[in-house]
Amino acid sequence: PEAITVQELANRMAARGGEVVKALFRMGVMATLTQTIDADTAELVVQEFGHRVRRVSESDVELGLEGAADEDTDLQPRPPVVTIMGHVDHGKTSLLDALRKADVAAHEAGGITQHIGAYQVAVPDGGKVTFIDTPGHAAFTAMRSRGAQVTDMVVLVVAADDGVMPQTVEAINHARAANVPLIVAVNKIDKPGVNPDRVRQELLQHEIVVESLGGETQEIEVSATKKINLDKLLEAIALQAEILDLRANPARAAEGTVIESKLDRGRGPVATVLVQKGTLKQGDIVVAGAEWGRVRAMLDDKGRQLKEAPPSLPVEILGLSGVPSAGENFVAVEDEARAREISEFRQRKAREKSSAAAVAGRGTLTDMLA
Ligand code: GDP
Ligand code: MG
């Protein structure tokens, strides 16, 4: 079966289309950018470019920028990455704050918490959990529209006194679209006269069946402000993580997603990135979106300088040439030449995309005039 166009293959390798055409020519295959080549030929080209190949199916070839495919034996358990969602005023921010304070390692750091877009807490059983601190549904949508999948599970906050509301349903749909499991946190149970059973029934109408009703969805009654059952919530997250069997290879070039970024007056471009594969090291050369640079300094959510960041750790990095957008991919590469190449490739791709949009716009105008 035909597998992939030459252009798409080049895109996936972040290589120039012309180089791929040339490589094919050397192999005796004449193809233009828009022509498709079969999976076997694609595999040869990919190897020619020094990447490892993972055949996802007979007809598809998938690879990351730096040769992606990890052997099973290279994979180590990694902490879960959790996003908290729910209706406005149901207690997302309060819960994130309370969980941050529940961090058993916070004392060591002198309790200084620097506000970055994600943080990691150490839990009493020795494990860790990463929370994405952007409780906005918009941020979640923006990431997903860029093809970024950062979260392993969603904690759905539902206030016991208010029940399922429009943004609760929206969050359920987001989790479904992203194909990630939900844990329900029924919040504000400290309030007198609240009825968590009502919440369970309302969730049922949206096909969320909690465990106490015989379903699969874990549900914990909590109070963010009175700090009730936060440990149980963390346990539920740990259990869900165990079920998902989350793993990554720490011994490879780092790859991940930009969570947020800004231009800092004193420090220049600053990006918070989530390392998803490999280990990011101070001094690494990285490409983030179309920006690149050497990681001059790396800080965790407590403002501590780090030399290394393993999978699932969110870190702030300094040293980029510009400000990448949230949801964009970042990858550590072998040298500056490669970084420049990928950066130029991504810039070109972005330009092509916007001019394609412009052409499409002209088409419409022509049609209108005709
Ligand atoms: P968000 O909009 O979902 O981020 O909600 P917030 O965390 O800002 O909380 C909205 C309001 O609910 C605030 O006034 C909180 O103090 C209050 N609140 C949050 N959690 C609880 C809780 O567990 N119990 C009570 N009684 N109030 C809470
Ligand atoms: Mg909030």
51 bridge partner residues: none
What sign for the dihedral angle of Cα 154, 105, 189, 94?
Answer: negative
Residues 290-307 as b or e (16 or more Cβ within 10 Å = b) = bbbbbbeebbbbbeeebe
| Band (59; pLDDT cuts 50, 70, 90) | very low
Give the distance (Å) from ligand 1 centre to CA of residue 357: 43
% pLDDT > 70, the chain = 85
Distance from residue 226's CA to the centre of ligand 1 (Å): 10
User: Which range has the worst mean pLDDT, 157-161, 185-189, 345-349?
Assistant: 345-349
Ligand nearest to the CA of 226: 1
pLDDT band with cut points at 50, 70 and 90 for residue 338: confident
Confidence label for 367 from pLDDT (cuts 50, 70 and 90): very low
- DSSP per position, 120-139: EEE-TTS-EEEEE----HHH
Find the distance separating the first CA and the last CA of the chain, reported in whole Å.
40
- Strand ranges, E, within the chain: 2-5, 36-38, 54-57, 60-62, 76-77, 81-86, 118-122, 128-132, 153-159, 182-187, 219-221, 247-248, 255-264, 268-277, 280-281, 285-288, 291-299, 308-309, 314-320, 329-333
Q: Which pLDDT value is given to residue 65?
A: 42
Average pLDDT for residues 255-269, to the nearest whole number? 92
Helix residue spans in 31-136 (DSSP H): 39-48, 92-101
Mean pLDDT of the chain: 85
What pLDDT was estimated at residue 135?
52
C-alpha to C-alpha distance for 354 and 357, rounded to whole angstroms: 5
Q: Is 175 helix (H, G, I), strand (E, B) or coil?
A: helix
Q: Which residues surround ligand 2, an ion (CB under 5 A)?
A: 92-93
Which of 94, 97, 168 has the most ligand 1 atoms within 8 A of CB, as the residue to mutate?
Answer: 94
Residue owning the nearest CA to atom 17 of ligand 1: 91
Predicted ipTM beyond 0.90: yes
Nearest to 256 by CA among 279, 272, 282, 274: 274
- Ligand 1 in reach of 223 Cβ (< 6 A): yes
Minimum CA distance residue for ligand 1 atom 11: 89
Q: Of the given ranges (229-238, 312-321, 324-333), which has the lowest mean pLDDT?
A: 324-333
Burial (0-12, 13-18, 19+ Cβ within 10 Å), 179: exposed
pLDDT of the residue at 254:
94
- What are 331's two structure tokens? 């990858």
Mean pLDDT of the 191-212 span: 96
Token pair recorded at residue 253:
């070039």
Per-residue pLDDT averaged across 46-71, rounded?
56
For residue 256, name the pLDDT band (cuts at 50, 70, 90): very high
How far is residue 242's CA from residue 152's CA, in Å, rounded to a whole number?
Answer: 11
**pLDDT at residue number 354:** 73
Residue 245's region, left for phi above 0, alpha for psi from -120 to 50, else beta, is: left
Q: Check residue 41 and give its pLDDT.
A: 83
User: Which residue ranges make up the annotated binding site for GTP?
Assistant: 86-93, 133-137, 187-190
Distances (CA, A) of 92 to 44, 136, 168, 188, 246: 49, 9, 12, 11, 25
How far apart are alpha carbons 165 and 159 in whole angstroms? 9
- Are 179 and 238 within 8 A, CB to CB? no
DSSP 229: S
The answer, yes or no, to whether residue 63 has pLDDT greater than 50, is no
